[in-house]
Structure formats: structure tokens, C-alpha cells
Amino acid sequence: MKKFFFTVIIVLAFLIVGGIMVGDFVLEKVSSKALEYLVTEGKTRGINVDFARFGDVGLNGFSAVRWRKFVAVINAPRYIALAPGEDIVVSIEEINLGLTRLLKGVAAISAHDIALRVEGGLSSKGTPGEPQEGLNNGELRVEFPLKGGEKGISAIALAEIPKRLLQFLQQGTTQIPFDFRAESTFKIGGSAVKADITTKMENSCYFLVMSPDDVRRISKRLNEELTETEISLVSTHPFLAPSLFKIRDYARTQSEAAYAKDATVSEDAYRHVLWSFLLTKEFGPEFARHVTDAHEIGAVKPNTEADHKMDYNNNKVGRDYAKAGYAEDLILELVMTDPQVIRIPQQ
């Protein structure tokens, strides 16, 4: 009898191990198909997924499917809300899809140790050997219903998961409740700064924000503090915030250096023209206009109507220079000679 029970236990053990191995094999195939779908669907939306893979996939006990060491490189065209015109490198240590909730028609997803960086923009440039700037320690939890019907979850329903992800990347907002937390790290004036990124809900839409208090704290590193309108704009564009800070700081230091060498340089005019020029080169003229206009609304320092007129005009000139394709090293000479530039506030 003992031999019988021992034999049964051995057979069951082999069946369980074999079942898990077969399950893992099937999950790998399904995951590969899902990634192929993600790439194809992304192209239809103008999002090119250059590279995407999982390190391994398997069952996390009997309660969830687990993917580990996910890496993807996504090229986002100009109209993508999160990081226009840049390569987004995403790495996720672990992703879990709950099986219990899935059988009830709900996709319950959690992701841990999410890291993200934007390649190619000013936010990604730094000294070789320094830590990479970007997002770290990200945690995500999201649940949304699938349209599987009474007969269970269909392939079409599962395809909703990557489709919703692409929609969020494209629009920057979603009506699906989710919770995301991460830490953004970048450098301003040679010093590393950190800011929390969290989820915000407004008008039934969920989107990512950088903590406004962190934006205020970082802005104090600049000699010219941000207006409340600018703080609101920067905080609602957390992935663009590093470049926005860097461009602003760079334009200020360049204009101060130019004035220190030549007192005939209009420091204010050069700063605004160069700032607007760089913003347009990085983000396009429309978003550049939103950023510079925000600076004029509720300005920290009292400005006269003539001051505002000068700034608006010079911001437009900077956008025009960028659209005309001028090189940055020509901007100071143009500021000094171009009659379109207003160098002194005119009452």
C-alpha cells in the first residue's frame, strides 16, 4: 500500500511539473503574439515600437500570470502627448495579470520597478559616466473591464489591454482608473533634483502629474521663479518637465554670459528669443507658444504693458527663427541686428 501511495505521489508530481512547463510554453507563445500585436497596432497610430521583449513568462502561483524583465524602445512622433519626437526606453522588472479577476472579465494588472528614460532630447543629455536621468521605482496598479461576454474572455478582449496602453501613450489621458507612482530624476544647473510623479483625476479622466510642490521647489533653483500658470503647465507634462527646466535655465545663463561680455546686449530680449527658439526646436511652435505665454500670465515680477508686449514679440521672433531653420550660434547676432526684435520696452 505504501508503494502504491508513493507511486501516486510521484506521478502527480510529474503531472504538476509537466503541466507548469506546458503552461509556461503556451504563455510564452501568447506573450510573443501579444507583443507582435502591440507593434502592429502601434504602427497604425504612428507609434513605432523599435524593440520589445520579455525576459521570461510564467505562472505566479495559481493566481496570476507573471512577466519579468520587460524592455521596450518606443519612438513617439510629435503628436504623442507623453514625450513628443523622442525614443522612450521602458523597462519593467515584473508585470502581473490576475487570473481570478480575469475570469470575471476584469483585467487587474500590477507592475513593479518601472524605469523610463527619454532618449534624444535635452532631458537625456549629460556627462558620460553619470547616472541616467529619467523615471525610477515606478509602481502601477490598474483594473478595467474586458468585453468578453458571457462565454468568457476572448482574444479580442485580451487585445484591449495593449490597445488601451497605446491610447494612453497617444493621448496622455484615460478614463480607466489607475494608480501610478514614480520618482523623476534630472539635473538643473549641475545639481540633481528629484520630483514625485503621481496620478490625478479630473473631469472623469486620469493622467500623470509631477508634484506641483516639487515643481515650485525646483523652480527656486532658477533666478527667475515660475508663475503659477507655468507650474500648472509643467506639472501636467511630467515627462517634458526636465527639458522645460533645462531649456529655461540654459537660456538664462547664456543671456547673462552674453551681457557680461558685452553690456550693449539686451539680456532680456536675448533670453526670451533664445528660450522660445529652443522650445520650438524641441517641442514645436504650438507648445512653445503655450509655455512662453504661461510665463506672461501672473508674472512673479511686476511687468508693465510695454514689458509684456516686448516679451510676446520676442517670443514670437524666437519661434520664427526656429521655423526658419537658423542655427543657435546665429541667434545672438540676430537679436543685436534684426529690427523685428524689441530690445527696450516701448511705452
Alpha-carbon torsion (264, 268, 269, 271), positive or negative: positive
Task: Tell me the mean pLDDT in the region 51-56.
Answer: 85
Q: Encode pLDDT of 282-294 as tens digits.
A: 889 999 999 999 9
Q: Which of 92-101, 114-123, 266-275 has the lowest mean pLDDT?
A: 114-123
Alpha-carbon torsion (283, 287, 289, 291), positive or negative: negative
Q: Which of 13-22, 247-256, 324-333 has the lowest mean pLDDT?
A: 13-22
Q: What pLDDT, on a 0 to 100 scale, did the predictor assign at position 112?
A: 96
pLDDT at 97 exceeding the cut of 70: yes
Q: Which of 28-32, 159-163, 295-299 has the lowest mean pLDDT?
A: 159-163
List of residues 6+ apart from 24 with CB closer than 8 A: 57, 58, 59
pLDDT at 135 exceeding the cut of 70: yes
Exposed, middle or buried: residue 3 (CB in 10 Å: 0-12, 13-18, 19+)?
A: exposed
Q: Cell for 29?
A: 507563445
What is this structure's pTM?
A: 0.78
Average pLDDT, the chain: 80
Most confident of 40-49, 88-97, 219-228, 316-325: 316-325
Residues forming beta bridges with residue 87, ordered by sequence position: 75, 119
Pair 194, 183: CB distance under 8 Å: yes
pLDDT at 163 exceeding the cut of 80: no
Task: Tell me the mean pLDDT in the region 297-316.
Answer: 84
pLDDT bin (cut points 50, 70, 90) of residue 208 is: very high
